[in-house]
Amino acid sequence: MSRDLGRMLAEYRAGSRSLRWVDSWQYAAHLLGGGRTPADVVHTLQQAQALLPSDVLILRLTEWYPADMSGFDASGRPARKVQSWLKDGAHLAFVDAVLGGIALLLGTSTPLLLSVPSPRRWLSRVTTAALQDEDVERSAVYLADYLRRFAASGSAGLLIEETHWDDDALVLYQPIWNVARHYQWQIGVELLEPDSAAGLANIEACQFVLVPRASSSSLVGFWNNHSAVGGGLTRGVWEGALEEPRPDRFFAYGIVPREATPETVLHQFERV
């Protein structure tokens, strides 16, 4: 599947196709009541893909972690707490079962993206102190070890959930990039907080960048240059706002809000 995703991105960069990537997991889980068991998760993903067909399937691996750090290693440096969290056996067993179900029921027709928080975002869950480069680097090593578990998952790519673009931080994530390249995964970064792609530079460090809060108008320059920067399907769009004009070739991406109105979501999706 990595070749399929690579081909998809190459065709977009060549100006021969547009991309429509939609993360509808939270919306579908709320609408259908799925997610309690691995079988529920796979069924919900299958239904979501049928309702809102996306060019890729995004699986956010932290969806099935405990909500807090209770019961995890509370000693030592923050990076060791991250390591303890990543090694949680119940979570790993749940994700393994989900990936097995995806392979059986969904097959390889749609490229699968494994999505995880960046080392910095992991650390922000376990400490409020200023982050040290040493802890970021160590957390990157622990996250790389965690990702090796999914070598046979059939994943086409890796999506790192980041707060904002930071060239210096991306350098510290080198162990993660090494693992992704070893498994021939396409590498992407999702910027969760910016409401535009202004100031985005050096995006050659990865194969694609997603900015779910960015409007189409802020991305037109990237799309006209066939740069793989996705966005435009903001919360406002899913809630019924008028779509902004897009060029003939574009990279539409967005996260459907959990409690969005089904009729509005379907109407807006059909307009993309």
Instruction: Please write down the HEC assignment for all residues of the chain.
Output: CHHHHHHHHHHHHCCCCCEEEEECHHHHHHHHCCCCCHHHHHHHHHHHHHHCCCCCEEEEHHHHCCCCCCCCCCCCCHHHHHHHHHCCHHHHHHHHHHHHHHHHHCCCCCCEEEEEECHHHHHHHHCCCCCCHHHHHHHHHHHHHHHHCCCCCCCCEEEEEECCCCHHHHHHCHHHHHHHHHCCCEEEEEECCCCCCCCCCCHHHCCEEEECCCCHHHHHHHHHCCCCEEEEECHHHHCCCCCCCCCCCCEEEEECCCCCCHHHHHHHHHHC
pLDDT of 73 above 70: no
pLDDT digits (tens, 9 = 90+) for 20-52: 999 999 999 999 987 789 999 999 999 999 999
Percent pLDDT > 90 in the chain is 71
pLDDT band at 11 (very low <50, low <70, confident <90, very high): very high
Amino acid 105: pLDDT: 77
Distances in Å between the Cα of 222 and the Cα atoms of 13, 140, 210 are 11, 29, 12
* pLDDT over 70, % of the chain: 94
Instruction: Kindly give, in sequence order, each residue whose CB lies less than 8 Å from that of residue 31, ignoring residues fewer than 6 positions away.
Output: 262
Contact of 172 with 191, CB cutoff 8 Å: no
Q: What is the pLDDT of residue 20?
A: 97
Amino acid at 256: V
Query: Would you say residue 228 has pLDDT above 90?
Result: yes
Q: What is the pLDDT of residue 128?
A: 84
Give the pLDDT confidence of 146-202 residue by residue, as tens digits. 999 999 999 999 999 999 888 888 999 999 999 999 999 999 999 998 877 777 767
Note the pTM of the prediction, 2 decimals. 0.93
Neighbouring residues of 109: CB distance < 8 A, sequence distance ≥ 6:
none
